[in-house]
Structure 1
Amino acid sequence: MLMNRYTLHETFVVHQYSVDEWEAKPHNHNYFEIIFVEKGNGYHTINDIKFSYKEGNIFLLAPEDTHHFEIKQHSKFTYFKFTELLFSGKVNLPDRKYWLQRIEQLLHHPNIIPGDVITHKEDRNIIWDIHNLVLEEFKNEKIYYQEIISNAISTILSIIVRNISEKYNSNQKSVPAVGNSKIDLILSHIRQNVYDNELTKISYLADTFNMSQSSISTYFKRKTGESIHQYVTKYKMKLVEYRLQHTEFTIAEIAYQMGYTDESHLTKTFKKHFSMSPKQYRKEVTLSS
């Protein structure tokens, strides 16, 4: 079936829907959505996994996620739609390295635990308060409203990452939830811990997922078509590419953040994947923007 794809040209928008029937067909996007259920109930399907929704639920949709609603009772939704460009001016925060890691978990992380993304009541209350703040700022457009919205969405995403991480870690210790195959959990572990070389070693993965080193290597290759080392390296290169495009970190700083011994080691690996050095890549991106 041909999938509808929606494109967002603004950095951030708010859309509100009050409906008895959901007319949009299953679709995906080139942007993020945080969906707040203001009222009503029914069913929400994300990536072919169906579950009920009710008032107060909060959903996160990443680019390429597909979804649709089946409404049982008149429902009202508020959507915060945004692209990663919303955060491009935030790279000079004192804790920018750690903030960026949290956001990257969402930028490059499939929705492996679909459904309501908040576990803790206190976190839910905080996010709904921030939701109210964002609506006011977006509506009134007072001075500095764009910076306030950017910081507000950053805070919401950090809280969501915390809740998703706790869900993921608890699921990993028990039987995986529906839709969470072992390979999904292994890939998620790698993405969440890609900054720490020790936590992505085959020996650590084997212990974590109760497999021998040879069996997890064979299993991973069969499921993904590449070795664990190849996958980790490709994923690191994706993060390096993102940081070259959207931050002002030096190549040496990015090398340190990604766990490379020095800048030359990163440069050598990057050249293999992009046929140019990180400095050349950044220069080309700058010239084309």
Structure 2
Amino acid sequence: MNRYTLQEVLVVNQYSFDQWDTSLTDQNYFQIIFVNSGKGYRNSNGIRLPYQANNIFLSSSKHKNKFEVEEHSKFTYFRFTELVLSGGVNLPERKSWLKRIEQLLHQPSIVPGDVISFEDDREIVWDLHNLVIEEFKSEKVYYQEIIANAISTILSIMVRNISSKHTTIKKEVPYTNNKIDQILSHIRQHVYDNNKTKISFLAEKFTMSQSSISTYFKRKTGDSIHQYVTKYKMKLVEQRLQHTDLTIAEIAYQLGFTDESHLTKTFKKHFTVSPKQYRNSYSET
């Protein structure tokens, strides 16, 4: 089995320019973009929003970024390659990174603007940004562990901030499209915890009866809550089968299935083949 290093999984680049460099492309699995200085506009898949110093953006391989620079700007990119999905990555925090990145990527829509809602969190993230840069430069003893822990904290803070945009705490939320976004966001955030995706838990959290939330969810999405959770888990299983060397049993454990047999039975209902057959056919293409 191949083993990959931190530098192959996480690439850190800094750019400084007066005009956008058209050679920059977004071919990585996921990236965090820090605006160190300057101002202008960020255009991401047709959405044009202003940027300024201390903004923090997220981007996936599906997003095409372009910055219209009005004032000399400096950016730092934390780029996560697809190797973050591989079980061959021998980093202590890889599973935590993957879990948090999946939570960020599978929000109702990845946030096109600045991702930080709480200014005290912004200060923490920027301090960690500086720590990661220094550790990459110095490569002192334990630098990989320090960077891995710092990245985990950054990603967790981002999940907290983005979730706050979709969640209203301790008050009833009106029946609007925003409410279904909040329910979907909660499910995606807690898909690893079966108890928190149960109808009873969701009904209590969103101050609805179990029958009301079931009917509302079905009307808005076309699926029952159970169907939606299962379909979402199948997407994550697909991703792991395609890009990692995790065993079927390991994938089942990660995603809250009873055992390998339970996962295999569910997977075959959706794809007509077993997870092993799916992985083998994908590797042959």
TM-score, structure 2 as length reference: 0.73
2:130 counterpart residue number: 128
Question: What is the root-mean-square deviation in Å for CA atoms of aligned residues?
Answer: 3.7
The alignment status of 1:235 with 2:232, answered yes or no, reads yes
2:17 counterpart residue number: 18
Mapping for residues 93-132 of structure 1, pairs under 5 Å: 93=91, 97-109=95-107, 110-112=109-111, 114-117=113-116, 119=118, 120=121, 121-132=123-134
Q: List alignment gaps of at least 5 residues for structure 1.
A: 1-9
1:233 is paired with a residue of what secondary structure?
helix
Q: State the AA in 1 paired with 2:208.
A: M
TM-score, structure 1 as length reference: 0.72
Q: State the AA in 2 paired with 1:32.
A: F
The alignment status of 1:158 with 2:146, answered yes or no, reads no
Contact 2:58 2:111 in 1 (8 A): no
Per-residue deviation at 1:234?
0.9
Distance 1:63 1:231, change over 3 A: farther
Report the more deviating stretch, 45-54 or 249-258. 45-54
Contact 1:90 1:96 in 2 (8 A): no
1:181 is paired with a residue of what secondary structure?
helix
Q: State the AA in 1 paired with 2:110.
A: N
Contact 1:202 1:217 in 2 (8 A): yes
Distance 2:91 2:27 in 1: 29
Q: Which has the higher contact order (CA 8 A, sep 6+)?
A: 2
2:186 is paired with a residue of what secondary structure?
helix
Mapping for residues 79-94 of structure 1, pairs under 5 Å: 79-86=77-84, 88=86, 90-93=88-91
2:279 counterpart residue number: 282
Distance 1:165 1:263 in 2: 29
Match of 2:60 among 42, 58, 62: 62
Contact 2:97 2:151 in 1 (8 A): no
2:61 is paired with a residue of what secondary structure?
coil
1:59 is paired with a residue of what secondary structure?
strand
Distance 1:68 1:211 in 2: 43
Report the more deviating stretch, 110-119 or 50-59. 110-119
Match of 2:215 among 214, 218, 221: 218
Report the more deviating stretch, 81-90 or 42-51. 42-51
Contact 2:84 2:98 in 1 (8 A): no
Per-residue deviation at 1:221?
2.5
Count of paired positions? 262
1:34 counterpart residue number: 32
Contact 2:88 2:245 in 1 (8 A): no
Contact 2:199 2:214 in 1 (8 A): yes
Per-residue deviation at 1:192?
1.1
1:5 counterpart residue number: none
Distance 1:57 1:95, change over 3 A: closer
Contact 1:105 1:161 in 2 (8 A): no
Percent identity over the alignment?
A: 53
Distance 2:264 2:56 in 1: 41
Per-residue deviation at 1:270?
0.3
Distance 1:32 1:252, change over 3 A: closer
1:248 is paired with a residue of what secondary structure?
coil
Distance 1:212 1:28 in 2: 44
Instruction: Tell me the alpha carbon deviations over residues 119-144 of structure 1, each in whole angstroms, 9 at most, x when there is no partner.
Output: 4213311113313555x59xxxx9xx
Match of 1:254 among 222, 240, 251: 251
1:7 counterpart residue number: none
Instruction: Tell me the alpha carbon deviations over residues 130-185 of structure 1, each in whole angstroms, 9 at most, x when there is no partner.
Output: 13555x59xxxx9xxxx95x984x55642332212322454423599xxx922222
Report the more deviating stretch, 210-219 or 188-197. 210-219
Contact 1:37 1:54 in 2 (8 A): yes
Contact 1:34 1:80 in 2 (8 A): yes
Distance 1:33 1:157, change over 3 A: same
Distance 1:56 1:131, change over 3 A: farther
Report the more deviating stretch, 258-267 or 160-169. 160-169
